[in-house]
Amino acid sequence: MAAVPGDTVDRKMSRQNGHRRQRRATPKVGAFVGIRMGAEVKRARVIEDRGNIGVGGRRLVRLELEQDSIDGDEPIRFERPVERLLDAPA
């Protein structure tokens, strides 16, 4: 996922090995992200940042799947951990 100008990226230093670990920035509400569904990467919009309520304090976001709505069906909405999000497909 591409960083937005002005976003901060947290860096932590491990005491054992001294390597830097970079944490991915959380996408903002309204941003488009990619999600893997089967063999495809689908485009979804972030509609809510749920915070660190996942297992082990994982940050969750609520997503709305972008789809062709011919019948006026309700959009598909679900939650995903931020670390499972991908860059939005074009």
Measure the CA–CA gap between 87 and 13, rounded to whole angstroms.
Answer: 26
Hunting for tokens 């063999």 — which residue is that? 39
pLDDT in tens, 40-78: 999 999 999 999 988 898 999 999 987 765 666 788 899
Domain positions in the chain: 27-84
**Residues 63 and 47 sit within 8 Å (Cβ to Cβ):** yes
Rounded average pLDDT over 80-85: 93
Give start and end residues of each alpha helix (H) in 1-90. Answer: none
pTM tops 0.75, yes or no: no
